[in-house]
Chains A and B, each alone.
Chain A
């Protein structure tokens, strides 16, 4: 029997040494209630806590304030219990308060007789990778912005050539950008050129019409340009009505109309001067 114990103890020590050799990952065991049962070197390097500081504590010690309040840890443990394994990413907090983006695999342990015996939790710091992802996404957004520039084509006339598909996220950004420019440049006329939009469906049309409505509330008249024969057909078939908005085949024609409107407004103002204003 003594020989057996020595072998087991040796094996245990070997396992512990193995776990401690893993420094890139936090590999720990949680009790069935979510309390931390074991610790490893990787966990200390990752979170800044020593074994003495965390063993016995609930795993939510690593979570953000809001996540703690919303009981995220409990929900994750439950999901792992039900699904047999749970992989997820999220913000965690180090001992010094610094946030890091963690990749976590949570696996429930079941004892030989089937009773839940806790969990194994493997955590990795993916902050750098996430920052890279966010950088790429920002770059993509900037490229999208560049493909939808608002151009001032004349005093008081803005043109917005829309290129590519228009989802609600892009439409929102487009509208906000346009309205800011209307304010900055005191524009009275906006030309929306859709020759670069591949398909006009009901959703795209709705986005466009909402943009026009908002611009109208800011006092700017809109002219649609670049409507191709296929587009005109599609719009009519879908029952899309642009109402009072004027439409021109080309950007050039739209600009001509815009200049005409600006001119008419200036003359009306000049004529009316003696009547009502100072």
Chain B
């Protein structure tokens, strides 16, 4: 009943800017494995790049990590990517998910934008503990 699952989950530590290349490569590979078209692949990779940059900018040195894997539900396939860190956390997650939220003059976390690029985006954050953003992109 329990099988040795083929190594399908891809994992990467996000600690430096150079890791962004790895993030994009992993997400591209997963997108192609799932059969996402070019537009959806681009959206997924871009959302991933945004989220990874957030970790580098706001949670430097805080165990930033990407876990990406194939998902299947009902009859459809897709890619799930989890971006996690043990950084300062987001105080007002609701505001962070609203367009216009920005800190310190930058464009902020760009979460609403990333949300629009994927099918599902779930944000969990606790101040002083860390943040997890899970995104899912399904094959149309």
Q: Classify A-B as touching or not with yes or no (CB < 8 A).
A: yes
* Chain B minimum-CB-distance residue to A60: B1
Q: Do residues A70 and B3 form an inter-chain contact, with CB atoms below 8 A?
A: no
Assuming A65-B6, A176-B39, is B1 touching A70 (CB within 8 A)?
no
Q: Do residues B1 and A90 form an inter-chain contact, with CB atoms below 8 A?
A: no
Interface 1/0 per residue, B57-93 and A, CB below 8 Å: 0000000000000111111010000000000000000
B-side interface mostly: loop
Using Cβ atoms and an 8 Å threshold, which residues of chain A touch B6? 65
The answer to whether the Cβ of B21 comes within 8 Å of any Cβ in the partner chain is no
The answer to whether the Cβ of B18 comes within 8 Å of any Cβ in the partner chain is no
A61–B3 Cα distance when bound, in Å, is 10
The answer to whether the Cβ of B5 comes within 8 Å of any Cβ in the partner chain is yes
Q: How many A residues touch the partner, as a band?
A: 10 to 19
- Number of A-B contacts defined by CB within 8 Å: 29
Q: Do residues B3 and A68 form an inter-chain contact, with CB atoms below 8 A?
A: yes
The answer to whether the Cβ of A203 comes within 8 Å of any Cβ in the partner chain is no
Q: Do residues A64 and B72 form an inter-chain contact, with CB atoms below 8 A?
A: yes
Partner of B5, one of A64, A69, A172, A176: A69
Interface 1/0 per residue, A66-93 and B, CB below 8 Å: 1111100000000000000000011100
A216–B74 Cα distance when bound, in Å, is 39
A172–B119 Cα distance when bound, in Å, is 14
A-side interface mostly: helix
The answer to whether the Cβ of A49 comes within 8 Å of any Cβ in the partner chain is no
A66, A91, A169: residue with the most chain B Cβ atoms closer than 10 Å = A66
B134 to chain A, nearest CB (A): 14
Assuming A65-B6, A176-B39, is B1 touching A58 (CB within 8 A)?
yes
Q: Do residues A70 and B72 form an inter-chain contact, with CB atoms below 8 A?
A: yes
B36 to chain A, nearest CB (A): 13
Q: How many B residues touch the partner, as a band?
A: 10 to 19
Q: Do residues A66 and B75 form an inter-chain contact, with CB atoms below 8 A?
A: no
Using Cβ atoms and an 8 Å threshold, which residues of chain A touch B39? 172, 176
Q: Do residues B70 and A66 form an inter-chain contact, with CB atoms below 8 A?
A: yes
A57, A69, A90: residue with the most chain B Cβ atoms closer than 10 Å = A69
Partner of B71, one of A58, A70, A90, A172: A70
Using Cβ atoms and an 8 Å threshold, which residues of chain A touch B75? 89-91, 101
Using Cβ atoms and an 8 Å threshold, which residues of chain A touch B8? 69
A97 to chain B, nearest CB (A): 14
Using Cβ atoms and an 8 Å threshold, which residues of chain A touch B5? 65, 69
Using Cβ atoms and an 8 Å threshold, which residues of chain B touch A66? 70-72, 77
A38 to chain B, nearest CB (A): 18
Using Cβ atoms and an 8 Å threshold, which residues of chain A touch B140? 169
A68–B71 Cα distance when bound, in Å, is 11
* Chain B minimum-CB-distance residue to A134: B75
A101–B5 Cα distance when bound, in Å, is 23
B42 to chain A, nearest CB (A): 11
Using Cβ atoms and an 8 Å threshold, which residues of chain A touch B74? 89-90
A58–B2 Cα distance when bound, in Å, is 9
Using Cβ atoms and an 8 Å threshold, which residues of chain A touch B1? 57-58, 60-61
A147–B72 Cα distance when bound, in Å, is 33
* Chain A minimum-CB-distance residue to B74: A90
> Which residues of A approach B to under 8 Å, CB–CB?
57-58, 60-61, 64-70, 89-91, 101, 169, 172, 176
- Beyond A67-B72, A89-B75, list 8 extra A-B contacts (CB 8 Å): A60-B1, A65-B6, A66-B70, A66-B71, A66-B72, A70-B71, A89-B74, A101-B75
7 residue pairs bridging A and B, Cβ less than 8 Å apart: A60-B1, A66-B70, A66-B71, A66-B77, A67-B72, A89-B74, A90-B75
